[in-house]
Amino acid sequence: MKKSCQTKPEKRWNLTPVSQLNSHQKNHKRATSIGRLAAGWMILQTFFLATPVLAQQKLKNDLSYSQFLEKLEQDQVTKVELDDTTNQASVTLKGQSKEDSPKQVVLFDQNQDLIPKIRAKNVDLSLKTSIDRSQTVGVLLNLLIFFVLLSGLIMIVRRSASASGQALNFGRSKAKFQMEAKTGIQFNDVAGIEEAKEELQEVVTFLKEPEKFTAVGAKIPRGVLLVGPPGTGKTLLAKAIAGEAGVPFFSISGSEFVEMFVGVGASRVRDLFKKAKENAPCLVFIDEIDAVGRQRGAGIGGGNDEREQTLNQLLTEMDGFEGNSGIIVIAATNRPDVLDQALMRPGRFDRQVIVDYPDLQGRLGILEVHARGKKIAAEVSLETIARRTPGFSGADLANLLNEAAILTARRHKEAVTMLEINDAVDRIVAGMEGIPLVDSKAKKLTAYHEIGHAIVATMMPSHDPVEKVTIIPRGGAGGLTWFTPDEEMGLETKSKIIAKITSALGGRAAEEVVFGQDEITQGAGQDIQVLTSLARKMVTKFGMSDLGPLALEGQEQPVFLGGDSGGRNEYSEEVASQIDVRIRNIALDCYAKAKNIISENRLAVDRIVDLLIEKETIEGKEFRELLAKFSPVYASEQKTDKIHSLLKK
């Protein structure tokens, strides 16, 4: 048998932009509401025109027709006035005073016997004709409906014209333009990043005094890329440049270029640089440029997408066939690794300015800037705060002083003291303070765990000193031990990494030594994750094992940057097993060392735990004094260190 083949009709899809569909839906809803309004007016008009008399009767009727005939038969009617227009009768009864208005009676359409009856009773009868306004009311209502419909039509036309105008302006740049950006921020308001300020000060001088550089053949840089972690002051630097330069300033975010419609981003780039060329020399600041400047053709699917077309247009405008003389592009990003290589080359971004975390002097300068508008007590030392906050960015330090000011206002104090500063640091580092634990086994376990961290870290020569030990819950932790480095964060030695791993295992070691293997808790889960990561990096990245100085694991590249999605290892299975053995050996050796330290200082552990349960928080200086008092090993080490320091002097 032959199967009959039928060809399905081809489906044709009419693709309409979402914004156009929305505008059509809005216009349809608006027209529907206007139609309902018009229908309501027509019904209202019909009601008033068709029954104008009935509307008045319900309000003014005093006598029914039968009552009127009954009064007439009883000779109680003295006067009747008939109205042909309204078909009503005004009746005056006997005994009715002149001040009372006549009674109104609605008559039937055919009243042939009524007049003879009235005359038979010798009642005063008269006729009148009132003015008929029904036609006038009908004309006015029709005119009102006409004006309502006309107004709705004008509204729809205007909205349509506005929508079409927005469609024409869709490809225009959304950059904010200022002839002289009065941001209120100068270079004096930026602290902690002096090297970056010096680089950008040259850009400002280039704009103000170009002859100083052109005299020796120097050309104005086309682009400056600000690279640094979040919160280090990249956008603040751009505001300072805008405030110092005194030239036209365009500012836009990288995400404002890209839209869902193809070609819009590239059109906005063209429009931005067209406006910039008309106002050259000028500055163009693009914040978060990684939103539009990611590597092209990377990831699954690759492609010819809208973002890549926008990036291609940006590359052409910055350094294409025509060039952009007189325009300096300043861009900021915290993800330089995702940017396209063509965007990073000289000629487009001639300079890359690193805006890194501030050092001690930088933090002190930032604190001085942000402390200007706050009431700080005289005993507060900004240098002490700067020493306690290594690794804080400019945004973190600003937030620190603001949190301290909020705590001061909450506690009804007149000035910020060190107590508020310390509480603000604790809140930023560890989170909001929770409810203290009640006296129980959990509180005792937490105290031993935290003292284990603190004692092991203090007994390790290369570890950072203890800043504070507390068993008050903060964030998601039941207790915390803080460490403050003596020096700025930089290169770390193998002995320091080993000391960190040993200190991380100090809490678990204290639990096992004091309570036994069966009473260890899950409180060391986060510590074990951290030490495992450090041990793996020692073996696979830092070359700190007997496998040799080999980088067995490289930088993990995400799939969208062209990274391998298959999870392929860069070493054999035999090497993988050796890596696992080395990582395990590092962890076990450090754990044995931590248990040995706890066992040797068991008396100090018990005594300090009792004090910690009572006080709930012990400062670092007090902790070291207690350890020197109860631990002969630590006391002898301290004496030896003092002797060595004196001999060196």
Model pLDDT for residues 204-244, shown as the tens digit of each residue: 888 778 788 878 888 878 888 999 888 888 888 888 887 78
| Per-residue confidence band for 58, with pLDDT thresholds at 50, 70 and 90 | very low
- Establish if 4 belongs to a structural domain: no
Lowest mean pLDDT among 128-142, 420-434, 467-481: 128-142
d(CA 594, CA 601): 11
Q: Which of 209, 204, 279 is nearest to 246 (CA)?
A: 204
- Each as own residue / partner, the long-range contacts of residues 265-268 (CB below 8 Å, 24 or more positions apart, any chain) are 265/292, 265/306, 265/307, 265/309, 265/310, 265/313, 266/309, 266/310, 266/312, 266/313, 267/170, 267/171, 267/172, 268/171, 268/172, 268/173, 268/174, 268/310
The CATH number covering residue 489 comes to: 1.20.58.760
Q: Are residues 412 and 447 in the same domain?
A: no
Q: Does the structure show a pLDDT above 90 at 457?
A: yes
Quick one: pLDDT at residue 610? 92
Ranked by mean pLDDT, the top range of 102-106, 115-119, 126-130, 364-368 is 364-368
Ranked by mean pLDDT, the top range of 196-205, 321-330, 632-641 is 196-205
Q: Does the structure show a pLDDT above 80 at 83?
A: no
Q: Strand 249-253 and strand 176-178: pairing?
A: antiparallel
Q: Are residues 59 and 44 in the same domain?
A: no
Quick one: pLDDT at residue 201? 82
| 274 vs 260: which has the higher pLDDT | 274
| 223 vs 11: which has the higher pLDDT | 223
Q: What is the mean pLDDT of residues 410-434?
A: 87
Model pLDDT for residues 160-185, shown as the tens digit of each residue: 665 554 444 544 555 566 566 666 77
The CATH number covering residue 250 comes to: 3.40.50.300
Q: Where in the sequence numbering do the catalytic residues fall?
A: 450
Q: Does the structure show a pLDDT above 70 at 247?
A: yes
Q: Are residues 46 and 72 in the same domain?
A: no
Q: Does the structure show a pLDDT above 80 at 452?
A: yes
Point out the domain boundary residue: 321, 354, 387: 354
- Establish if 8 belongs to a structural domain: no
Lowest mean pLDDT among 10-24, 132-146, 306-320: 10-24
> Left if phi > 0, otherwise alpha if psi is -120 to 50, otherwise beta: which for 253?
beta
Q: What is the mean pLDDT of residues 238-258?
A: 79
Q: Are residues 230 and 156 in the same domain?
A: no
Q: Does the structure show a pLDDT above 90 at 426?
A: no
Point out the domain boundary residue: 372, 400, 430: 430
Ranked by mean pLDDT, the top range of 4-8, 108-112, 442-446 is 442-446
Q: Are residues 376 and 449 in the same domain?
A: no
**Tally of structural domains, the chain:** 5
Q: Are residues 90 and 219 in the same domain?
A: no
What is the span of the domain harbouring residue 381?
360-430
Model pLDDT for residues 381-398, shown as the tens digit of each residue: 998 888 888 888 889 999
| 482 vs 638: which has the higher pLDDT | 482
- Establish if 190 belongs to a structural domain: yes
| In the chain, % of residues over pLDDT 70 | 78
Quick one: pLDDT at residue 584? 95
- Name the token pair of 582: 């080395």
Q: What is the mean pLDDT of residues 599-616?
A: 91
Q: What's the Rg (C-alpha) of the chain?
A: 44
Quick one: pLDDT at residue 531? 93
- Establish if 9 belongs to a structural domain: no
- Establish if 15 belongs to a structural domain: no
Please give, one letter per residue, the 3-state secondary structure of 533-546: HHHHHHHHCCCCCC
Q: Does the structure show a pLDDT above 50 at 54?
A: no
- How many CB atoms are closer than 10 A to CB 339? 21
| Per-residue confidence band for 35, with pLDDT thresholds at 50, 70 and 90 | low
Q: Are residues 308 and 417 in the same domain?
A: no
For 70, 80, 251, 378, the CA distances from 97, given in Å and listed in that order, are: 21, 15, 87, 96
Q: Does the structure show a pLDDT above 60 at 22?
A: no
Quick one: pLDDT at residue 127? 77
The CATH number covering residue 387 comes to: 1.10.8.60
d(CA 344, CA 322): 19
What SS3 state is found at 14?
coil
Q: Are residues 577 and 634 in the same domain?
A: yes
| 374 vs 199: which has the higher pLDDT | 374
Lowest mean pLDDT among 47-56, 127-136, 346-355, 460-469: 47-56
- Establish if 10 belongs to a structural domain: no
Q: Are residues 386 and 497 in the same domain?
A: no
- Establish if 12 belongs to a structural domain: no
Point out the domain boundary residue: 109, 132, 155: 132
Quick one: pLDDT at residue 399? 92
Quick one: pLDDT at residue 594? 94
- Establish if 627 belongs to a structural domain: yes
Ranked by mean pLDDT, the top range of 3-12, 275-284, 574-583 is 574-583
Q: Are residues 196 and 216 in the same domain?
A: yes
Q: Are residues 529 and 459 in the same domain?
A: yes
Q: Does the structure show a pLDDT above 50 at 18?
A: no
| Per-residue confidence band for 455, with pLDDT thresholds at 50, 70 and 90 | very high
Q: Are 287 and 251 in contact (CB under 8 A)?
A: yes
Q: Are residues 457 and 524 in the same domain?
A: yes
